[in-house]
């Protein structure tokens, strides 16, 4: 986690105008503080207190793994082995 480019702990206080960068698996989220909140609120109310400057993530490439029909039940041992071969495991 970084605030205005400086590494900080998650408990660090923020002020209006701060830019927060949070690493998440595969990408980095960039948020700008627009308003401070005194107590915990729901996600809808919290979303009005920051601006999200995170760039769009590229779509994940399709792996081409076979899809089982919904309701087809659990894969058999042979099905699981075939899926592992396709994944390269």
Give the DSSP per-residue string, 10-67.
TT----TT-EEEEEETTEEEEEEE-S--SS---HHHHGGGEEE-PPPPPPPPP-----
What confidence score (pLDDT) does residue 63 get? 67
Q: What are 18-77's pLDDT values in tens digits? A: 999 999 887 899 999 999 999 999 999 999 999 999 998 877 666 666 677 777 788 889
What confidence score (pLDDT) does residue 15 get? 94
């Amino acid at each position: 986690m970084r605030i205005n480019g400086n590494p900080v702990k998650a408990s660090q206080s923020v002020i209006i105008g701060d830019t927060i960068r949070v690493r998440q698996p595969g990408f980095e989220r960039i948020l700008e503080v627009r308003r401070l909140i005194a107590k915990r609120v729901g996600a809808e109310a919290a979303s009005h207190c920051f601006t999200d400057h995170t760039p769009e993530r590229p779509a994940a490439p399709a792996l081409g793994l076979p899809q089982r029909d919904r309701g087809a039940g659990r894969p058999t041992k042979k099905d699981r082995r075939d899926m592992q071969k396709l994944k390269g495991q």
